[in-house]
Amino acid sequence: MNCPNCGVKVSLHARNCYSCGYLQPQTQTAVDPRSFPVISFNTQNIIPAIPPGKVPVSEKSKTITIILWAFLGIFGAHHFYAGRIGLGLLYLFTIGILGVGWLVDFFLILTDRFKDIFGNRISQP
């Protein structure tokens, strides 16, 4: 960029011309937001939007979940099946959180509110 007063080449970021001392008017330059890298840890950018009124349903079977709950649920097998490894380990080491969590899961499974690792309800037969 050249100084409008003396014509000497001046940096875009210089406030004054170093040759004649002309004070450059401050202008705001528009920055294209596409020029910056986008770093997003939000998975909502990847998952398609769910239409209103639709509940996401898991590919896991409700029947298998009930069978695992009935025979090995006290050890968290139904949580391992749903992909919820942390809860499965918690149930394994606390014997189904002393049986209370095991009973709560029964009602969650029956009312189709038991969810897999992605938050989708396990309700398919």
Statement to judge: residues 27 and 66 lie in one domain: no
Q: In whole angstroms, how far apart are CA 104 and each of 17, 69, 100, 114?
A: 75, 11, 6, 10
Beta carbons within 8 Å of 100's beta carbon, 6+ residues apart: none
Statement to judge: residues 20 and 72 lie in one domain: no
The per-residue pLDDT of the chain, averaged, comes to: 80
Residue 45 has pLDDT above 70, yes or no: no
Q: Residue 70: which pLDDT band, with cuts at 50, 70 and 90? A: very high
Q: In whole angstroms, how far apart are CA 92 and each of 86, 99, 117?
A: 10, 11, 18
Looking at the domain assignment, is residue 108 inside a domain? Answer: yes
Statement to judge: residues 75 and 23 lie in one domain: no
Write out pLDDT tens, residues 103-114: 999 999 999 999
Q: Residue 60: which pLDDT band, with cuts at 50, 70 and 90? A: very high
Domain span including residue 24:
1-31
- pTM comes to 0.58
Nearest to 112 by CA among 67, 46, 57: 57
What is the total count of domains within the chain?
Answer: 2
